[in-house]
Amino acid sequence: MRDLKAVGKKFVHVMYPRKSSALLRDWDLWGPLVLCVSLALMLQGGSADSKDDGGPQFAEVFVIIWFGAVVITLNSKLLGGTISFFQSLCVLGYCVLPLTVAMLVCRLVLLAGAGTISFIIRLIVVVAMFGWSTLASTAFLADSQPPNRKALVVYPIFLFYFVISWMILTFTPQ
Amino acid sequence: AAGPGPGPAGGGRSGAPATEWGGFEDNMQQGGGSAVIDMENMDDTSGSSFEDMGEMHQRMKEEEEEEEAEGEAGAGEEEDGEFLGMKGLRGQLGRQVADQMWQVGKRQASRAFSLYANIDILRPYFDVEPVQVRARLLESMIPVKMINFPQKIAGELYGPLMLVFTLVAILLHGMKTSDTIIREGTLMGTAIGTCFGYWLGVSSFMYFLAYLCNAQITMVQMLSLLGYGLFGHCITLFVTYNIHFHSLFYIFWLVVGGLSTLRMVAVLVSRTVGHTQRLILCGTLAALHMLFLLYLHFAYHKVVEGILDTLEGPNMPPFQRVARDIPVVPNAVLNTTAKAIALTL
């Protein structure tokens, strides 16, 4: 129960990003694992074209998220960050939450049909959640950098969430 | 100070287990007799994984503080003994296990230390400010005029690495806008593989050529130069993936690609002596750079091209497919004909 409560508290911190140290101090990787697995599961069952299979495989989503998080962590450490390896992984993993919510919304919208209007709705939702993710993770990570190098750390985070948002947006069900 | 200190502690430890378990009584007396030797072995368990890695580092680094480490090791070993529940650590088996644990712990610590040191090796290449990165990005499009004086190349890896990742993102975006439902996972793998393969592979190849042609350039500088040259590629692909005009692409290819190629070539020329060498180096670099842009555009643009070709009238191939008119025959006629043929056979 104590661990569940800690995970739940971190989820709340991500949704309302304020400069609190709870996410950083007691890092855990349960939340990121749950989010990553649920996102990868929801991205299954993409439409199969006559040429190839559709949709990223489970392992690919997993590898991309974790490999991307590791690269960003290494980058922020090399730029002189004061945050530890696992703390950074924890923050980046938890900030995938808005994008998972976006994926859920997209799936629901696609149940209603796959026309232009649904595409516009999905686009707006995904872009909003992408912005929220980036802002949330920046609020936590940028503080650990020297003040003049924040842009250098924010850019790879932006690219990372952009790739995940692209995977979500281009998901078409069978 | 090492001897007397652990002595009483060792003696104290040998006292307690004797009352609980008499299995190692003989060994314990040996242990009690050779307290100093035992402490050396006991000392070794301080390198076990139970203890903090940081303390291990310190021990390896500062050998003059062995006494301090041994003191900590004594305390750590007591905890180890209690944790393991093996009061017979002073036995032969215990000593061997302790030795083994120390070896493993030391190996782990040295591996961890070398891994940490590897990150530190890369640290000076990431020591940049945002203004510097921006300045270098813009400079990569401006060819230098002075080729008789070796031009300075900043050995920095942050900019090139970010540009490679940006190129991957742009390629993914371009595949989406070409409206194909492809296996997105391997697409990502292909994009990452292509971009990194180009950056690392062509850099290594050019470094090898530069070595043959006696050019004054290091590997990191080559990586940096080529990486910043990808900025032109990023711009070109970003624009032409959103505006699908062939002629626009060719203009961008020549102008933007050409400018970045000219800059890289000029910098290389300024660092090479001899006409033949300059020609070899610059020709190879220019060819590879421009051809890569062409490849990226066309390999990932195949499907759109196909669609465009069918729309443009004059470009249609001369061979025309004409639909064959198959006469529609009612099923009943077919069945009776088949039965008739079967009866005659």
DSSP letter at B317 equals: -
pLDDT of B149 over the 70 cut: yes
Question: What mean pLDDT do residues A49-58 have?
Answer: 55
Higher pLDDT residue, B193 or B34? Answer: B193
Look at A131-135, A151-155, B310-314 and tell me which has the smallest mean pLDDT. B310-314
Q: At what angle do helices A97-111 and A2-15 cross, to 10 degrees?
A: 80
Please tell me the predicted confidence (pLDDT) of residue B161: 92
Confidence of residue B4 (pLDDT cuts 50, 70, 90): very low
ipTM score above 0.90: no
pLDDT of B284 over the 90 cut: yes
Higher pLDDT residue, A90 or B183? Answer: A90
Residues of B in contact with A80 (CB under 8 A): 123, 127
Confidence of residue A174 (pLDDT cuts 50, 70, 90): low
Higher pLDDT residue, B107 or B62? Answer: B107
Higher pLDDT residue, B303 or A29? Answer: A29
Higher pLDDT residue, B233 or B49? Answer: B233
Question: What mean pLDDT do residues B231-236 have?
Answer: 92
Across chain A, mean pLDDT equals 82
pLDDT of B207 over the 90 cut: yes
pLDDT by residue (tens digit) across A89-138?
888 988 899 999 999 999 888 888 778 888 889 999 999 999 999 988 88
Q: At what angle do helices A58-78 and B92-122 cross, to 10 degrees?
A: 80
Across chain B, mean pLDDT equals 72
The answer, for A131 touching chain B at a CB cutoff of 8 Å, is: no
Please, which residues have CB within 8 angstroms of residue B3's CB and are 6 or more apart in sequence?
A: B36
Cβ proximity of A160 and A72 under 8 Å: yes
Please, which residues have CB within 8 angstroms of residue B96's CB and are 6 or more apart in sequence?
A: none
pLDDT of B33 over the 70 cut: no
For residue A2, give how far its alpha carbon lies from the nearest alpha carbon of chain B (Å): 25
Higher pLDDT residue, B338 or B46? Answer: B338
Please tell me the predicted confidence (pLDDT) of residue B128: 83
Please tell me the predicted confidence (pLDDT) of residue B332: 66
Distance of alpha carbon B156 from alpha carbon A4, whole angstroms: 44
Interchain proximity B162–A49, CB inside 8 Å? no
Higher pLDDT residue, B233 or B301? Answer: B233
Decide: residue B241, CB within 10 A, 0-12 exposed, 13-18 middle, 19+ buried: buried
The answer, for A51 touching chain B at a CB cutoff of 8 Å, is: yes
The answer, for A74 touching chain B at a CB cutoff of 8 Å, is: yes
Look at B1-10, B57-66, B202-211 and tell me which has the smallest mean pLDDT. B1-10
Please tell me the predicted confidence (pLDDT) of residue A102: 92
Residue of chain B whose alpha carbon sits nearest to that of A85: B116
pLDDT of A149 over the 70 cut: yes
Higher pLDDT residue, A51 or A83? Answer: A83
Interchain proximity A54–B165, CB inside 8 Å? no
pLDDT by residue (tens digit) across B40-66?
444 444 444 444 455 555 556 555 445
Distance of alpha carbon A9 from alpha carbon A89, whole angstroms: 17
Look at A64-78, A138-152, B258-272 and tell me which has the smallest mean pLDDT. A138-152
For residue A159, give how far its alpha carbon lies from the nearest alpha carbon of chain B (Å): 7
pLDDT of B18 over the 60 cut: no
Task: Provide the token pair at B129.
Answer: 């400010």
Cβ proximity of B243 and B297 under 8 Å: no
Please tell me the predicted confidence (pLDDT) of residue A127: 93
Supply the DSSP string of B169-203, one letter for each residue.
HHHHHHHHHTT----HHHHHHHHHHHHHHIIIIIH
Higher pLDDT residue, B138 or B2? Answer: B138
Look at A35-39, A52-56, B270-274, B276-280 and tell me which has the smallest mean pLDDT. A52-56
**Which of A53, A77, A162 lies at the smallest CB-CB distance from B169?**
A162
For residue B252, give how far its alpha carbon lies from the nearest alpha carbon of chain A (Å): 24
Confidence of residue A84 (pLDDT cuts 50, 70, 90): confident
**Residue at token pair 């120390």:** B102
Confidence of residue B193 (pLDDT cuts 50, 70, 90): confident
Percent of chain B with pLDDT over 90: 23
Residues of A in contact with B189 (CB under 8 A): 60
Percent of chain A with pLDDT over 70: 88
Cβ proximity of A29 and A86 under 8 Å: yes
The answer, for A149 touching chain B at a CB cutoff of 8 Å, is: yes
**Which of A51, A149, A159 lies at the smallest CB-CB distance from B129?**
A149
Residue of chain B whose alpha carbon sits nearest to that of A147: B129
Cβ proximity of A56 and A43 under 8 Å: yes
Look at A84-88, A94-98, B231-235 and tell me which has the smallest mean pLDDT. A84-88
Cβ proximity of B87 and B19 under 8 Å: no
Distance of alpha carbon A70 from alpha carbon A90, whole angstroms: 11
Task: Provide the token pair at B164.
Answer: 């490679």
Distance of alpha carbon B187 from alpha carbon B193, whole angstroms: 10
Please tell me the predicted confidence (pLDDT) of residue B282: 92
Please tell me the predicted confidence (pLDDT) of residue A56: 64
Confidence of residue B126 (pLDDT cuts 50, 70, 90): confident
Please tell me the predicted confidence (pLDDT) of residue A61: 83
Confidence of residue B225 (pLDDT cuts 50, 70, 90): very high
Please tell me the predicted confidence (pLDDT) of residue B307: 45
Residue of chain B whose alpha carbon sits nearest to that of A72: B162
Residue of chain A whose alpha carbon sits nearest to that of B169: A163
Please tell me the predicted confidence (pLDDT) of residue B288: 94
pLDDT of A2 over the 60 cut: yes
pLDDT of A36 over the 70 cut: yes
Confidence of residue B32 (pLDDT cuts 50, 70, 90): very low
CA dihedral B268, B139, B233, B264 (to 10 degrees): -10
From residue A100, alpha-carbon distances to A37, A165, B250 in Å are 10, 10, 40
